[in-house]
Each structure stands twice: as structure tokens, then as C-alpha cells.
Homo-oligomer: A and B are copies of this chain.
């Protein structure tokens, strides 16, 4: 009996996150075992580039694919290889995100990301980061081909990633055209523009993409279901970005993991768009004089104005209303099978503090 006891492996229950992280390691190892003959130095750089930029943050985008499949067709997670493939698809989204973040940090001239130096700031990287952003995007399709090339939805998945990449690029472009570095033109900061930017630069790849991946994997073919997903996900995406903008100014820096800089960086965020909408003439002057400046005095002036305008309260009201709106969208539009996935996603973002 002792022997039998000994030969039994202790039963370790892995969480989705554990499975997901293990899959990352396998994916990168297999990427670096390139079928092409490349010098070790090149492959080491690739490995480092992936590990520095991809497996960080909350990973909610990738995990949402697993969660979506779990709530719609859990049988797909029973078999190890099938579970791995769902993880790989989730990682494709995180590769895309990494590609956009590497590029975004260069364009925004950012210094840190997730508490460490931005990739392009590393002495061994610098301008190569531009190529790395393109490489990260390429890697999506290397991964996709490796693990999905015989999957019946292979083409649909590829087209989905292409389309989301294109939309995100357009969102980034519109964001930068609205708020160019070193140029303050607040007449462009309208709520309408804000909503358009946010939908394209954030909502599609952050919410619609994981949801559409999950729908595709579980075999949903009805285009109506994808339209509904788009409606719900774009609402969530706006909600998520408004929170992001609010947290940038009001969150505890220790919890958030960074000190917000949207005010001095002249960002077209929800707070300033809201302020411009309700400010009186003298308050408008304060905004025009102090927004987008780096001195402490200007930052304080803007923060004081936000207090004067009760923006924190307006945000709470927006959050509550938006939450209810999304809840009822889910109630009204989502079918029985997908409801759980949307509710899980909403739960992930509602009242978040980071």
C-alpha cells in the first residue's frame, strides 16, 4: 500500500492562469526553435523580447478567451491539447497587445510601463523597438499557423485579427491626430471624438476580440451573435477607458502601480472632455492656461478645477449608469449560452481599482 501511495502523483489543480502561463512558456520555446537556421544571438533577442513585453499586466484579454470557452462549451477544456490551443489563441491577443504597447510607448515618449522601463528605453533595444513591434504582430500569425492551421475556423480567426489590428491602428491614429505631442488644441476634445477614439483604440481589441475568439472557438456561426458581441463589447470598452482615465487622476498610485500623467501629457481623456463640456467661461480659461503643462502648479490648478466641477461625483454617476446599461444590454441581447461570459467580463472591470 505504501508503494502505491508513493507512486501516486500529488493531485495539483491548476488554475486557468497557471495553464495560461505554462502555455506561454511552451509557445515561446517553440517559436525560438525556429525551423529557419538563425544565429543564437538573434533567437536569444527574440526570446527576451517576448518575455519582457508579453506576459505581464492582468492578462484579462487572454484569460477572457478561456473564460468564454469555459462558460459556453467547457468540454473544449477537458483535453490538454485542446486547452492548450485555447490558451494559444488567448496569447495571440496578448501578442497583439504587446505589439501595440511597444509602439505606443515610443510614440507617446513614455518612460515606464508596468513599473519597469519601456522596452524601447533599454540600452540594448532603442530604435530596434520599431521593428520589434512589427515582429510581435508577425508572431501572432506564426503561432496561429502552428496551432490552428488545420482548424476549421483558421481563416476566420486570421481575418478577425487582421480586422482588429487595422481598427486599433485607426484608433491610435485618430488619438494622435487629436492630441499631438507638444501641441495643445482643446477645441478638438469633444465627447464625440473621445468616444470614437476609445472605441477604436481600446474597445475592439480589448473586449470584442477575446469575445469573438471565444464565440468562434465554440462554433457560433450566426453573424447576429457577433453583432451583439460588438455592441456589448464597445460599451464595455468605453466604460473601461473612462475608468482608466479616472484612475489616472484619482487612484492610489501604489494600487495603480504608476503615477498618472494624463494632465501634463495633454491627453484627450474623459475628465478633461467632461470638464470642457460643463466649465463656465473663467473655468475654461483655467483649462486652456494649465492643461498639458508639466509644472506642478499647473497640474494642481487642473486638479482643483476638477474638484470644483465635481468630476469625481460625475464619474461615479457615469460608472453606475454605464454599469446598468451594460447589464441590461446583456440581459436583453445576449443568448442563454453567452450571458455568463459577458457577466464575467463586466465583473472584471466594474469598481476596479487598477
Q: Which residues on B sit within 8 Å (CB–CB) of A181?
A: 126-127
- Whether A162 pairs with B177 at a CB distance below 8 angstroms is no
Q: Closest CB-CB distance, A158 to chain B, in whole Å?
A: 6
Number of chain copies forming the complex: 2
Q: Which of A163-177 contact B (CB under 8 A)?
A: 165-167, 169-170, 172-174, 176-177
Q: Which of A28-42 contact B (CB under 8 A)?
A: 36, 38-39, 41-42
CB of A265 closer than 8 Å to a CB of B? no
Contact across chains for A166 and B145 when beta carbons are under 8 A apart: no
**In the assembled complex, A142 has its CB within 8 A of some CB on chain B:** yes
Cβ of A106 under 8 Å from chain B: yes
The answer to whether the Cβ of A285 comes within 8 Å of any Cβ in the partner chain is: no
Whether the pair A170, B42 counts as a contact (CB closer than 8 A) is yes
Per-residue CB proximity of A127-149 to B under 8 Å, as 1/0?
11011111101110110010000
Q: Are B173 and A131 in contact (CB under 8 A)?
A: yes
**A106 vs B138: C-alpha distance in the bound complex, in angstroms?**
19
Contacts A155-B155, A162-B138, A166-B138 hold; do A173 and B42 have CB atoms under 8 A apart? yes
CA distance A130 to B105 in the complex (A): 11
- Which of A41, A126, A141, A193 is most buried by chain B, counting CB atoms within 10 A of its CB? A141
CA distance A41 to B188 in the complex (A): 12
Q: What residue in chain B is nearest A145 (Cβ atoms)?
A: B159
> B residues within 8 A CB of A174?
38-39, 42
B162–A131 touching, CB < 8 Å: no
Contact A128 B42 (CB under 8 A): no
| Chain A interfacial residues counted at CB < 8 A | 46
Is A154 in contact with chain B by the CB < 8 A criterion? yes
Beyond A36-B167, A142-B166, A145-B162, whether A106 also contacts B135 by CB under 8 A is no
Query: Chain B residues near A131 (CB, 8 Å)?
Result: 103, 107, 169, 172-173, 176
Establish whether residues B130 and A103, one from each chain, have CB atoms under 8 Å apart when the complex forms. Answer: yes
**A196 lies within 8 A of chain B by Cβ:** yes
Please name the 9 residue pairs, one residue from A and one from B, whose CB atoms are nearest each other, closest first. A141-B162, A138-B166, A107-B127, A135-B169, A131-B172, A103-B130, A128-B176, A138-B165, A42-B174
